[in-house]
Structure 1
Amino acid sequence: MRGTPTLLGRPVPLGEVAWLTVVWLLLWGDLTVGNVLGGLLASSVVVWLLPLPTLDSGVRIHPVAALVFLVRFAADLVLSSFRVAFWALRLGTSPPVETVRVRLRTSSEVMTVLVTVALSALPGSLVLEAELEDRELVLHVLGIRGDVRATVQADVTRLEGAIVAAFGTPADREEIR
Structure 2
Amino acid sequence: MSRGQPAPRLFGRRVPLSLVCWLALVWVALWGELSVGNVLGGLAAGLVVTWLMPLPILDPGIRLRPVALPRFLLWFGRDLVVSTARVVVYVVRPGPPPTRIVRVRLRTSSESMTVMIMITLSTVPGSLVVEVDSERRELIVHVLGRPGEITEAVRADVAGLESRIVAAFGTRRDREELS
TM-score (norm 1): 0.91
Partner of 1:130: 132
Partner of 1:143: 145
Partner amino acid for 2:59? Answer: D
| 1:51 maps to 2:74 | no
How far off is 1:72 after superposition? 1.6
CA distance in 1, matches of 2:170, 2:116: 10
Partner of 1:87: 90
Moved more, 129-138 or 93-102: 93-102
Moved more, 157-166 or 68-77: 68-77
How far off is 1:98 after superposition? 1.1
CA distance in 2, matches of 1:88, 1:104: 31
Partner of 2:120: 118
User: Mind listing any 5+ residue stretches in structure 2 that lack a counterpart?
Assistant: none
The match for 1:69 among 69, 72, 75 is 72
What is the SS of the residue equivalent to 1:64? coil
Deviations 1:121-147 (A, max 9, x none): 111111111111111111111121344
The match for 1:29 among 6, 25, 32 is 32
Partner amino acid for 1:45? Answer: V
Partner of 1:100: 102
How far off is 1:9 after superposition? 2.6
Q: CA RMSD in A?
A: 1.6
What is the SS of the residue equivalent to 1:127? strand
Deviations 1:79-134 (A, max 9, x none): 1100000111112x432211111111101122111111111111111111111111
Partner amino acid for 2:43? Answer: L
How far off is 1:26 after superposition? 0.9
How far off is 1:21 after superposition? 0.9
Partner amino acid for 2:47? Answer: S
User: Mind listing any 5+ residue stretches in structure 1 that lack a counterpart?
Assistant: none
How far off is 1:30 after superposition? 0.5
CA distance in 1, matches of 2:50, 2:35: 22
| 1:38 maps to 2:41 | yes
Deviations 1:26-83 (A, max 9, x none): 1111011221122112211221222111122122222332333222212111111000
How far off is 1:172 after superposition? 0.7
Q: Count the aligned residue pairs.
A: 176
What is the SS of the residue equivalent to 1:63? coil
